[in-house]
């Protein structure tokens, strides 16, 4: 595995995007998102995505230089048209607007339609938590990936959600997961490495569990939703609120990758901020210091794994496997990009 310096990856990804026609700002935001995903250990949503994004741009399915636009705007709410741009731009902007509204009105909710792939959701709610607010982000993934519980047709998306909550004297806790057992990107990574999948990630065309990624990619299978009827209910909620409420539509009616909702809740409008953060610290401390189950070495909180990975990778660099790296280099060469 070649180890890459995060700053080098940032420069390279920015240069590739600019060579493809992105503005400086646009390239910087997207590159920062992708490299940060690698730093947090979410390689499936890291710089490798640049390859897919450029293919979508070439096909005209995603646009550069098409910044998101607010199309409905009320006191605490707004509706944002992603204008087929790279989703990270719309997602960041939606969260920033939600935070602004919450500063003034106590809460802000901003929906997004017509947006390209939004990437690693965990990037957005923490923007609210850093401002002492609770942040929540809901996404409707494109249809055609997951089957409803008890069914076999890949009607639904991998629809993820993420939240972040501020805690006294420590970074916010944040959770970030797809409502399928695994995000599709991770299955793609396993497939490219030729690895069999863990049991339960994929269903074959008859709706039976399979460990072969091609049952999903080539033979009409689907991705399994997590958590039985509870994960199914959550997935359906995301499909409905992010899809229908944003105006994007449901199932695979939406022409873009993602529809979403960014929400910020200003704690001070509800309770004393210091007391809230102290409560959260108490909660976190009690859980962390509680006795691990037999066979488990420690009790973690959501976000812990990512924070640890970030510390390690900032120091040691980012591993990128040879095949993924070659794909990135091919894209750079095609655009005549050279970065030292």
Return the number of the residue (108 or 116) whose C-beta is nearest ligand NAD: 116
By CB under 6 A, is residue 68 in contact with ligand NAD?
Answer: no
Return the number of the residue (305 or 329) whose C-beta is nearest ligand NAD: 305
Cα distance between residue 259 and residue 280, in whole Å: 31
By CB under 6 A, is residue 302 in contact with ligand NAD?
Answer: yes
By CB under 6 A, is residue 300 in contact with ligand NAD?
Answer: yes
Return the number of the residue (67 or 302) whose C-beta is nearest ligand NAD: 302
By CB under 6 A, is residue 279 in contact with ligand NAD?
Answer: no
By CB under 6 A, is residue 141 in contact with ligand NAD?
Answer: yes
Contact string 185-204 vs ligand NAD (x = CB under 6 A): xx------------------
Q: Are strands 107-115 and 77-81 parallel, antiparallel or unpaired?
A: parallel
Among 246, 258, 263, 266, binds ligand NAD (CB under 6 A): 258
Maximum Cα interatomic distance, the chain, rounded to a whole number of Å: 56
By CB under 6 A, is residue 307 in contact with ligand NAD?
Answer: no
CA-wise closest residue to 154 among 223, 200, 211, 210 = 223
Element (H, E) at 72: strand 69-73
Element (H, E) at 247: none
Residue 157 CB, nearest approach to ligand NAD (Å)? 7
Among 66, 182, 235, 246, binds ligand NAD (CB under 6 A): 182
Return the number of the residue (135 or 337) whose C-beta is nearest ligand NAD: 135
CA-wise closest residue to 248 among 91, 92, 81, 97 = 81
| Contact predicate 202/209, CB 8 Å | yes
Stretch that binds ligand NAD, among 16-24, 106-114, 169-177, 227-235 (CB under 6 A): 169-177
Return the number of the residue (261 or 332) whose C-beta is nearest ligand NAD: 261
CA-wise closest residue to 220 among 241, 240, 236, 206 = 206
Helices (H), 106-227: 125-129, 184-192, 213-217
Residue 30: CB partners within 8 Å, gap ≥ 6? Answer: 13, 17, 22, 53, 86, 88, 89
Among 1, 70, 287, 305, binds ligand NAD (CB under 6 A): 305
Q: Which residues bind ligand NAD (CB under 6 A)?
A: 42, 45, 117-122, 139, 141, 158, 160, 162, 175-178, 182-183, 185-186, 258, 300-303, 305-306
């Amino acid at each position: 595995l070649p180890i890459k310096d995060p700053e080098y990856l940032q420069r390279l990804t920015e240069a590739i995007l600019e060579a493809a026609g992105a503005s400086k700002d646009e390239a910087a935001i997207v590159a920062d998102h992708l490299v940060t995903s690698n730093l947090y250990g979410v390689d499936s949503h890291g710089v490798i995505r640049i390859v897919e994004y450029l293919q979508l741009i070439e096909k005209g399915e995603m646009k550069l230089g098409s910044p998101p636009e607010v199309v409905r705007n009320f006191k605490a709410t707004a509706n944002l048209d992603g204008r087929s741009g790279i989703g990270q731009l719309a997602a960041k902007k939606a969260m920033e607007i939600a935070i602004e509204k919450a500063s003034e009105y106590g809460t802000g909710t901003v929906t997004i339609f017509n947006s390209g792939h939004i990437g690693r959701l965990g990037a957005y709610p923490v923007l609210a938590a850093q401002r002492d607010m609770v942040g929540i982000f809901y996404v409707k993934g494109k249809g055609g990936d997951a089957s409803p519980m008890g069914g076999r047709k890949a009607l639904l998306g991998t629809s993820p959600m993420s939240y972040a909550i501020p805690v006294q004297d420590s970074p916010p806790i944040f959770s970030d997961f797809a409502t399928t057992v695994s995000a599709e990107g991770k299955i793609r990574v396993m497939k490219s490495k030729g690895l069999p999948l863990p049991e339960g990630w994929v269903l074959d065309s008859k709706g039976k569990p399979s460990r072969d990624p091609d049952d999903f990619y080539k033979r009409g299978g689907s991705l399994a939703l997590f958590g039985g009827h509870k994960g199914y209910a959550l997935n359906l909620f995301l499909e409905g609120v992010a899809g229908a409420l944003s105006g994007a539509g449901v199932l695979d009616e939406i022409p873009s990758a993602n529809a979403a909702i960014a929400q910020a809740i200003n704690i001070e409008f509800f309770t004393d901020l210091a007391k809230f953060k102290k409560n959260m610290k108490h909660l976190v401390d009690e859980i962390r210091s509680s006795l691990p189950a037999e066979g488990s070495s420690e009790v973690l909180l959501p976000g812990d794994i990512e924070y640890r990975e970030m510390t390690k990778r900032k120091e040691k660099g980012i591993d990128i496997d040879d095949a993924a790296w070659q794909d990135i280099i091919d894209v750079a060469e095609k655009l005549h990009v050279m970065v030292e």
